[in-house]
Amino acid sequence: MAGKHVPERTCVACRRLKPKRELLRVVRRPDGTVAVDPTGKAPGRGAYIGASRECLRLALERKALERSLKTVISETDRAGLEAELYKRRASCPFRDEDEGSREG
């Protein structure tokens, strides 16, 4: 059996390479709005971000998302992103791997 290939992407906030499933895809839709893309297949320019509070904060503070998507994120879209990322983070088994202590 050949080893499984795990697709990896770079988080635009912390620039770390992570398995794709630990990241969320944020997409700039053709109409210019920016939103989380749960399918990972939505048309438009995409960027990946870690499903953690820290990554979202960094991405917005450093405008990493805006740079990567080559757009300006409106207050409305920003609020929507935060809500969506926090919601998904709550159900994500990989949440906050960088916070707190690490186990074996």
Total residues interacting with Zn ion, rule: CB under 5 A: 5
- Per rule CB under 5 A, is residue 25 in the interface with Zn ion? no
- Residue located via tokens 């960088």: 98
Kindly state whether residue 27 participates in binding Zn ion, applying the rule CB under 5 A: no
* Interface with Zn ion, residue 50, by CB under 5 A: yes
Per CB under 5 A, the list member of 55, 64, 69, 73 interacting with Zn ion is 55
Query: Which segment (54-62, 74-82, 84-92, 96-104) binds Zn ion by CB under 5 A?
Result: 54-62
Segment lying near Zn ion (by CB under 5 A), choices 3-11, 62-70, 74-82, 96-104: 3-11
Nearer to Zn ion, 3 or 15 (CB): 15
* Distance from C-alpha of 104 to C-alpha of 24, rounded to nearest angstrom: 26
Q: What is the 3-state secondary structure (H, E, C) of the chain?
A: CCCCCCCEEECCCCCCEEEHHHEEEEEECCCCCEEEECCCCCCCEEEEEECCHHHHHHHHHCCHHHHHHCCCCCHHHHHHHHHHHHHHHHCCCCCCCCCCCCCC
Q: Which residues here bind Zn ion, judged by CB under 5 A?
A: 11, 13-14, 50, 55
